[in-house]
Amino acid sequence: MIHPTPPGTRDVLPEEMRELRALTDRLRSAFEVAGFGEVWTPALEYEEVLQTGDERAAGAPYRLFDEHGEVLALRSDMTIPIARVVATRYGEAQPPFRLCYFAHAYREARGAGVQREFLQGGIELIGVPGPAGEAEVVALVIAALADAGLDRHRVGIGDGSLYRTLLRQHDVAEEDQHAMLEALSRRDLVELARMVDRLGLPELLMRLPELRGGPEVLERADHKVGTLRELHGLLEARGVADRVIYDLGLVRELGYYTGAVFEVYDPAVGFALGGGGRYDELIGRFGQRALPACGIALDVQRVHIAQMAEERLR
């Protein structure tokens, strides 16, 4: 008799669970000491609410009907539910709001070994605009991961609107924009080059994604990366600038990002540990008050794998 769990889900036995608890305790403690209070939201939301946040956030993932025929869906991240919480429960309160979470999210990704139920731990900083907010979020995640025993981790920083703006400026058709951003998010530079060539676009659109490295990248970019330069200054002041990689081809799949985007790496493992960015328009979709916001979510099980990989390298 074999009784499997659904694809992309798994059981966690005590030995691993103890390590995951220790890791989440470290991260939570770092977040709370910095003033980020933990919240919980239901695993199930009305699909309409998730779609208010981002059309692609709902839809394909796990959906079901409640007894009134309303469509419910398992959350695919915590950023949209927290935007709902801020708009509905903190509507009258004075920002900024500093919130954190540790909760499972659900995505219907395909492929062997791809997780569909994953434990996210993250922070949301709501009401602090521009580079000041981004610097606080990036520096806190770097510090929290250091507390958790990582010491080789890096945060990639890009501008989520930069490439999109360029494509619009060159009157690239909606459909082609989508295909190019998709190729970019997969880091498929061959496909990207093919499209730049076919559409007769300037070489800059090919060069930009190759600009990846230290602050010199920001100097070399002949386009408007002024806010990233400002962010770099703030990260220097916080003493974490050496942990950052600027990456002008970085784009994130979720559509609600409006500015800086982040990706967390560790050279000990070959996958991103998490990501996030600035989403200044999301809170306003749930209420009468628009609030600038940014955040980062970590995949706790991936951070755990990086933790173990770093230990082996020591």
Binds a second copy by CB under 8 A, chosen from 13, 112, 190, 313: 13
What 8-state DSSP symbol labels residue 304? H
**Of the candidates 23, 39, 141, 167, which one interacts with a second copy according to CB under 8 A?**
39
- How many residues bind a second copy (CB under 8 A)? The answer is 54
Which residues face 37 on adjacent strands? 99
Edge-to-edge strands, sheet with 293-299 = 37-38, 97-106, 117-126, 293-299, 274-278, 260-265, 154-159, 244-247, 212-213
Question: What is the rounded distance in angstroms from the CA atom of residue 183 to the CA atom of residue 308?
Answer: 32
**C-alpha 270, offset from chain centre:** 17
Shortest spacing between CB 60 and a second copy, in angstroms: 9
The Cα 130–Cα 192 span in angstroms is 30
Q: Does residue number 40 form part of the binding site for a second copy (CB under 8 A)?
A: yes
Q: Cβ closer to a second copy: 149 or 284?
A: 284
290 lines the binding site for a second copy (CB under 8 A): no
Q: Amino acid letter at 249?
A: G
Q: Which of 127, 41, 47, 138 is nearest to 91 (CA)?
A: 127
Which of these ranges, 56-64, 132-140, 162-170, 292-300, lies near a second copy under the rule CB under 8 A?
A: 56-64
Choosing from 99, 205, 231, 248, the residue that interacts with a second copy (CB under 8 A) is: 99
27 sits near a second copy (criterion: CB under 8 A): no
Alpha helices in 75-214 (DSSP H): 79-89, 130-147, 162-169, 174-185, 189-198, 204-207
Residue 108 binds a second copy, judged by CB under 8 A: yes
Q: Does residue 70 belong to the site contacting a second copy (CB under 8 A)?
A: yes
Q: Among 15-23, 151-159, 175-183, 264-272, which window interacts with a second copy (CB under 8 A)? A: 15-23
- The residue ranges that bind a second copy (CB under 8 A) are 1-7, 9-15, 17-18, 20-21, 28, 32, 37-46, 49, 52, 62-64, 66-67, 70, 72, 74, 81, 84-85, 87-89, 99, 104, 106, 108, 117, 286-288
